[in-house]
Every structure is written in structure tokens, then in C-alpha cells.
Amino acid sequence: MATRRAALIGDAFVDVQVGGVGALPCWGTDVACSSVRLLPGGACGNTARQLGALGGCELEAFFYSCVGDDEPGRHYLRTLEAEGSLTSPSRTLRLLPGVPQSCCVILSGSEDRAMCSCYETVHRVTTGLFSAELLAESWALVHLGGYFNCVGLHDDALLDLLRALKARGTLLSMDPQHDCSGKWSGEGGHLRRLPPLDGGMGSSRLPN
């Protein structure tokens, strides 16, 4: 049986996990925590890594995104290469000189958590960076992850790409994730213009 291929396009974050926070700090103050960890994150990045790990020899997972040419971005790339679950991440992840890596600082307490995020590289994920390669290959699945915050994908180029892939019989899926803008519709109502999807993870905020 031939190995199937899945392409995942979307957000790549470095998560700064701060654990054991008793209370959120006020401006000008400091609070203690019990641990700090750097982890690869992002809705699409996590889905790609998990799919690649589960697929084994039957499925190749390719993750298309952008990372910053700084220490957090290179840490993210090194981590994915060391894990070995994705196919050629050094080729499919675009290194952006002079752009800070998107990071999410997560302050976790016993009952809740708060987050502060940088979206610089996530906002620069565009269809044009990857469309030629995606159209040149055959895919069993193309998945959009972290759609709402990848505002560079909210254009006609993505619609054309998805229609072309669907016409070839490629399965399409999406995980919209949280919308930090609060619009829940994509730029210019882009969400409603997407072609029919074959699967995905929904949100209670999505329009019917």
C-alpha cells in the first residue's frame, strides 16, 4: 500500500508554559511560579506533529508554516527536526529574517490560566509561500489549522487553492481555533466563502 500524504497549513507557536502561578501579577509587581517550560505549540503545529507520530509508515505529514529567524524560531525548528514525526520540516517551514517568532506565554494557576501572544510570524503565513508546492504534489488530506489568526490566508488565493485541491479529490479539513480579533468570520467574511470541508473541529462562536 502506497504511503499517503497530508499537508497541514497554519500556525506555529512556541509556548512558554509558566506553571504554579498563584495570582496574576499587577503592573510593577512580581509573583513566583513553580516551573517554566518551552514547548512547540500552535493548533496546526500540534495537529501536524500528532498526525505524523500516529501515521507511522502509512502516512507522511508535511507542516507548512512560518518561523522567525531568531532563537525561539530556531528552537522550534530544532525541536521538530529532533522529534522526527514530520517530513522535511526544515524545507516546509519558512524562516523569516527579522521577524520575531510567534510565542504564547501561558500563565497557569490551579483553576484557570491567562495568555499573552505574539502573532508576528503567524500573521505572515500566506498561500503564495506554499501554493506551487502544494499543487505540484498529490495529497490525501489538506488541513488548515489556526485559521482565524492566520490572517494572511484570508484571501482569494487560498480559495482558489482549496477548490483546485478538492477537484482532485483531496480531503479538506479545518481547525479554526480562537479568534483574537473577536470577529469570528475571517477578514472580509472570508470564512463563509470557503469551499465545503470534509471535516474539522468547530467552535461555538462560528456562524451557522
Please check whether residue 79 is in contact with residue 46, taking contact to mean a CB–CB distance below 8 angstroms: no
Query: What confidence tier does 202 reach under pLDDT thresholds 50, 70, 90?
Result: low
Res 206 pLDDT > 50: no
SS3 content of the chain, % helix, strand, coil (to 5): 30, 30, 40
What pTM, to 2 d.p., does this model score? 0.93
CA distance 6 to 16: 28
Fold for the domain defined by 4-14+41-98+119-200: UDP-N-acetylmuramoyl-L-alanine:D-glutamate ligase (3.40.1190)
Residue 143's contacts (CB-CB under 8 Å, 6 or more residues apart) are 6, 7, 8, 9, 10, 44, 47, 48, 172, 173, 174, 175
Domain locations along the chain = 4-14+41-98+119-200
